[in-house]
Structure 1
Amino acid sequence: MGRDTTGPATHPDHGPDELCQEGTALYERALREGHVPDEDAAAAPCLVDLGLLHPSIEDAARLEPVAPAVALHRLLRASENRIAQERRREARLADLFEPLMRIDGGRTAGGGSSAVGVLSGSERIGRAITEAMADGSEELLAVQPHISHTRTPLAARAEALVRDQDFLDRGGRIRTLYQHTLRHAPSVVARYEQLSGDAQARTLDEITDRLLVVDRAVAFIPANADRTLALEIRHPVIAGFLATAFDRLWRLATPLYPLAARPAAQGGFTPRQRAIAALLVEGHTDTDIAERLGMNVRTARVHIAKLAATLGSESRAQLGYLIGRSGILDREG
């Protein structure tokens, strides 16, 4: 008779990552005592809805807790299923609208949205790049970050090699930017040993995300983190902007092929040490530095330790101060 029936009606909706105070307290109590009376769950119906409490087989008036590890696994699996479902929906929408965007001649509202298309799936992205290069004849500009290069399957690299050689055979020119960490990568060395024609490569400490520009008219850039979506850009202003950005990076880069040049040391410090020093002064973490320079965190920390030893630093804060005093970041000439 005295049971409060207002709890469920006033209980706020929330997910498992935002357990309410009442729910958390009751779940902890159930774990300690092994069960709680069914009526006590009226103020926290979320525990039953989320599967954290279930009716006892021995006594229907009691609720027993599900082990936290089991509950967590179940909720994470449900979350993964929702994410997978959204990705499938994303791919279906991209598949549906891609052909529609191709036939849209700019007559619809939106200011020429047909100039940017969405490509879904590695196979479709690769096919679109192949078609663009087959139509091109002058120049391919490519940016290949460390993470993009290392994640590319061997079969895809082989297909790209054939596609690039066909482009070179038709008189085209290929210019590719890599990170310094790939200067001695066997796959990169092998690529240029196999290609014949006007293929050039240079390296920088930091480059942009993956980019392909064909004849300064068609560009491809990733549209999500795992590279299962890409944008095909045929807007002349955007494609021209990306090509100009590439040109400016190219002028700053160190030649790798056909004539390799060793990145010059400055003030007794290597370019790699200078790049790390600049990021340290900006306050980046070891993980940020490793990601931006295309190396693993362990390697980044080894370089940071060597830099600290060279400058005589005993702490991270002191290292930033000593970098500023050392002149390592000063530009010469």
Structure 2
Amino acid sequence: MIRTMVVDDDALVRLGLTDLLDSDEAVEVVAQATDGLHAIEQAMAHRIDVALVDVRMPRMDGIAATRRLRALPHPPKVITLTTFDLDEYVYDALAAGADGFLLKDTDPAEILRAVHLVAAGSAMLHPTAARRLIDRYHRSGRPQAAQAQTRIAPLTPRERDVLSLLAEGETNADIAKTLGMQESTVKSHVSRILNTLAVTNRVQAALLARDAGLAP
């Protein structure tokens, strides 16, 4: 059972997401929160596997909340919710440790798929949106190429293949299909890549890949 929390200051949005998540027999909504501070309190009171967090909220916004949630002793995975895929706050939320983002008008089936993917350790970044996010990061203070190449140097050739596709926004399932691997093997490679690069999520790994020249 995937234990989830819905964080949004709009009561109707919370209700809609809760109803959707509860329709999945493998997902349980164990907490709701009206803003970032409330989300921290709820996460400390309940074991949360995945939190769906709105970006714009009073008192504490979704960016600060994501950073605080990910710093907890037992941090939940975080999916950021936003109205606009170009919202600059989304970029900051991913840098704070979010595992992906969704538009609020995303197809319900895709929202449920995102929860399952993130709970399993993957990320939910639409390929096109991921490229735009990475490009935005890339333009705003990228590290020197030599430094990035040094950081990826310990990776095996296969891990570099995986990282290159990850940098293009591919999911674990996409990478497995492209490279002719089992999805569980890809998941293991991604975990080792994140540990080796000392980054907290796939977006940050993708940035290093771009700076090191592994992806256009």
Q: TM-score, normalised by structure 2?
A: 0.30
Q: TM-score, normalised by structure 1?
A: 0.22
Highest RCO, 1 vs 2 (Cα 8 Å, sep ≥ 6): 2
